[in-house]
Chain A
């Protein structure tokens, strides 16, 4: 435990400053309650998300390299990003910068030209979930839980890019306790399982919630309504990506307008639930920021 570091550079990303404010606020609260520290990356720029990389390779690498350079300037070698898209982009840039020397040389030259310090060390990026699991872990959450999420059934939705591809996310197969991918070139000891991620399940179960069986939908693409319409056992979707969150909420709304039954499953961020369990109030974790109203379900269990 504790390989990543308790004090890290925090790259929130554009989404968390606006539409996904709840994720940002609740993550900071949870980190604070668990004795961890997130140091805001000053003056960061957009990571390019899933869009820019399709139209410019060098531009996207450069944008992420600038953010890495800012982290180095603030004295960090580790960046934590809570958004799947941001952590993907930073990890992708890390992959190309460390494996391809020509990319690093060209990027450093361009950074210098743009008035940013070139990279001496290339900072690694961790997803906030991986960081919380490594630095706090289920035991600590269990210990600090004041208001267990008793009886609440959750479907843990991880999305695509938290575990994939293993070159960037550096995941490997170890969910059953057995290490099955010894030859993965980029594997990282702290990373989640690739096809059966379980960090979020474990953290929320430690806080008292019950995870429903949600495989294989937990890592299915959010780009379609398929991932929603055949799931009716759960009372809550728990997400860790603002884009997936928006997509789930938007399609939920559209499906309900079309009269599809059994899609009334509100989506919340995992940090919001953890925050509640750690004794924070509903308004502190900004439950009212969510488009799909989670309050009725939570009230039923006396949690909000």
Chain B
């Protein structure tokens, strides 16, 4: 199981051919209190870089992009009632959606732990 990152502060945790996508600890700190999450439709086909979800803080809306191409298989329904899960635990209970990865080779272009840590230093 590996986790990769985009320069836009999404993470994708890879379990086989499925990826779990959310925003990083750094991103949730920057956004502040999340008050609303717009989740993608299950079955939605995404290209790398497509807008997949929107998270809204008190101040502003921020788009969450697809780190890789694929199809949305599951969304975190708990965020509907409790969007603050993204602030509390962005990398566990605050995940946003799961994606069936179309081409795992696309993961190679993403940042690894060290490169992402470097980006947010």
A binds B: no
Binding site for A on B (CB under 8 A): none
